Structure 1
Amino acid sequence: MDNIDKRNRLDEQPFSCRVTKNNTVFIEYYGKQVKTLKGKDGEKFIKKMNAAENEKDTQLIMAKVTGNFKRGNER
């Protein structure tokens, strides 16, 4: 885990998520929605989040799911 987040950016907890009744997941980065997961992808994500041991693991899961969305010009 230490090798993945070398700059400790996940300690700031930049990611958050909301789950609706029909298991649609909205993932946000500093309050801005960056990813929506529906159907099987949403269910798979929820299972991973429930299996996470601590908050840093949940942040890492959300970071991996969102992928490489930052290109350097976001604010």
Structure 2
Amino acid sequence: MAGRPEGFEFEERGDEVVVSHHGRRATVLRGSRAQEFLEDVERGDPQELMARVTGNYRRGNERQAREHPRNRGR
């Protein structure tokens, strides 16, 4: 079972939104994408949303990948 995303923060800077993860900048959203993000943050789980926009989220297949013959012994 995948854990909940955590450690994300965002900051509005003019027409940009800077998303960071554990204090390190992960992505910068600009224009309409930034506006959509700010609207979505009000409606949903901000940590989950920030994990998705940065591409830093678990997909649920980590255990399967670990057992794949190519990855054994790692």
TM-score by length of 1: 0.66
State the AA in 2 paired with 1:14. G
Query: Size of the alignment, in residue pairs?
Result: 57
- For residues 43 and 49 of structure 1, the distance between their equivalents in structure 2, rounded to whole angstroms, comes to 10
Uncovered stretches (5+) of structure 2, i.e. residues with no partner: 57-74
1:32-43 counterparts in 2 under 5 A?
32-43=24-35
Q: Name the Cα RMSD after superposition.
A: 1.8
Matched to 1:8, the amino acid is G
Structure with more of its chain in strand, by fraction? 2
- Residue 15 of structure 2 aligns to a residue whose secondary structure is coil
After TM superposition, which residue ranges in structure 1, 4 or more long, deviate above 4 angstroms?
Answer: none
Equivalent pair of 2:4/2:48 in contact (CA under 8 Å): no
Compare CA radii of gyration and give the structure with the larger one: 2
Alignment partners' CA distance in 2, 1:67 and 1:7: 15
Structure 1: 5+ residue runs without aligned partners? 1-5, 69-75
1:58 aligns with 2:30: no
Deviation, 1:67, is 1.1
What is the SS of the residue equivalent to 1:8? coil
Matched, 1:8 2:3: yes
TM-score, L = length of structure 2: 0.67
